[in-house]
Amino acid sequence: MEHTHGADHPAPVHQHWLSRSRLLAANGAFAVYATALALDTGHADRAWAVWAAAAYTVTTVIIWLTRHTNLPALVPLLVSLAGAMAAPVAWLATRMAPTPEVQVISRSAVLLLQHGTPYLAPGQFASWLSYNPYLPAMAVFGLPRALGASGLLADPRVWLAAVSMVLIWAAFRVAAPHRGCQDCRRGVLASTVFVTASPVIAFPLAVGITDPPVIALLFLTLALIARPSGVIKAAVALGVACAMKATAWPAVPVFGAMLATRDAARSAWRFVGVTVAVAAAISVVMAPTALANPAAFAQNTVLFPLGLTKHKTPAASPLPGHLLAMTGAAGHWAAVGLLVAAGLGFAAWIVLRPPGDAAAAAWRLALGLAAMFTLAPATRWGYFCYPLGLATWLVLTGQLPLRAAGDDVDAAVMTLPRPERRVRV
């Protein structure tokens, strides 16, 4: 697609990944996944799956029926967003009992306001729901209820969804190479809607899982860090993510190694320093008395996720690390040892063969997180939304060239254009 910019300003070249045919295939796959989930699960998961299966199916049908018309394909994308994310969030928040994640976030905010810490002390653990495995900043999503809000606005899922969508939009906007271009603006909006409506983001948001805002902040970090001028802003974004959940911390050494290779060691140390400082400052503000009881902090955020506490989470999937841990104490420590060994091996990899740009860093991070989730003693399939989300980011921002010859590109639904120049490893 070309634009008239005058003789002195050649028109930007748009190379979009997601054609109508790919959008059709993606929503068809989403519909199959949601249908299978509806048949295989129960409770909140099934409620989301029923809504999402209908939304994805309707979206697929609309795209198919309008494939030869001029109807902007953003219309069916909005249908999938409404049916797979907005409606299930509202339904689950008002019609069903709070999920364990929602209960933990809501309680952590109450504890924060009353005691200055979102964590219970070791002697107060009555069950696995007594633990709060999140870092202090996650409690902010429970503050509306703790401060007296009622109804839909009191549910943390509403705020998790709103913040995640805004951050995803901001990340795609920063990544767009032509900010003044109308097609780029439409691409940013379409990419935001597509990602937010996908099962990678919509499913965890509907059931109150806290990963989407962290994933969105990783997107924003990647968009900012791609340019040397955005390194400090990227460090701030990652620092916020690191104050929310421990799953963001592996990104710090990966991005630091990338900056040391692409820019200089000084840039890498500045990035790491700002990230740690921001995360520490937010944590202190959000949990001022938590540092006075490091045992409680460790029990909640370190030992419980590793399955080393008296009460263990039932939210465990049959992955290798969990299956090994189930064989007994020796198997559990073996799983922990394998996790540590994998972490050391990954660290050696990024030191000896550091990534050279943001795209390579994202792939390294996706692989490292996938290995960590596979080997962790207490883990679940849902954590793989991180590597899936990172892969999706690379595809939608044009850093994974998969465009098929002959595809019809619809600028109203396509994702972000590929920048003209990119450093590759």
> pLDDT tens digit string along 174-228?
988 766 677 777 788 889 999 999 999 999 999 999 999 999 999 999 999 999 8
Helix axes 43-65, 74-81, angle to 10 degrees: 170
Q: Cβ neighbours of residue 368 under 8 Å, at least 6 residues apart?
A: 250, 254, 346
Instruction: Answer yes or no: are the C-beta atoms of 79 and 58 closer than 8 Å.
Output: yes
Helix axes 265-286, 231-242, angle to 10 degrees: 40
Count the residues in the chain: 425
Exposure on the CB side of residue 64, measured as CA atoms within 13 A? 10
**Distance (Å, rounded) from C-alpha 200 to C-alpha 25?**
16
Percent of the chain with pLDDT over 90: 54
Q: Cβ neighbours of residue 238 under 8 Å, at least 6 residues apart?
A: 217, 218, 221, 248, 251, 252, 255, 275, 278
**Distance (Å, rounded) from C-alpha 299 to C-alpha 131?**
8
**Distance (Å, rounded) from C-alpha 276 to C-alpha 282?**
10
Radius of gyration of the chain (CA): 22
Residue position matching structure tokens 């696995």: 128
**Residue 353: strand, helix, or coil:** coil
**Distance (Å, rounded) from C-alpha 49 to C-alpha 51?**
5
Q: What is the DSSP string of 19-36?
A: -HHHHHHHHHHHHHHHHH
Q: Collect the ranges in the chain with pLDDT lower than 70.
A: 1-18, 73, 178-180, 315-317, 322, 399-425
The pLDDT score that the predictor gives to residue 404 is: 36
**Distance (Å, rounded) from C-alpha 342 to C-alpha 251?**
15
The pLDDT score that the predictor gives to residue 399 is: 67
Q: Of 315, 293, 314, 311, give the one whose Cα is nearest residue 303.
A: 311
The pLDDT score that the predictor gives to residue 314 is: 72
Q: Of 373, 372, 389, 393, give the one whose Cα is nearest residue 381.
A: 373
**Distance (Å, rounded) from C-alpha 122 to C-alpha 202?**
34
E strands along 133-235, which residues?
none
**Distance (Å, rounded) from C-alpha 146 to C-alpha 134?**
17
Q: What share of the chain is helix, strand, coil (3-state, %, to 5)?
A: 70, 0, 30
Residue position matching structure tokens 């199916």: 57
For 180, the token pair is 């003044």
Q: Of 204, 279, 200, give the one whose Cα is nearest residue 237.
A: 279
- For residue 390, give the amino acid letter: L
Instruction: Answer yes or no: are the C-beta atoms of 133 and 304 closer than 8 Å.
Output: yes
Q: Cβ neighbours of residue 11 under 8 Å, at least 6 residues apart?
A: 2, 3, 4, 5
- For residue 92, give the amino acid letter: L
What own/partner pairs with CB < 8 Å and gap ≥ 24 does 296-302 have? 296/117, 296/119, 296/120, 296/121, 296/122, 297/119, 299/119, 299/122, 299/125, 299/131, 300/119, 300/120, 300/131, 300/132, 300/133, 301/119, 301/132, 301/133, 301/134, 301/135, 301/246
The pLDDT score that the predictor gives to residue 323 is: 77
Can you give the pTM of this predicted structure?
A: 0.87
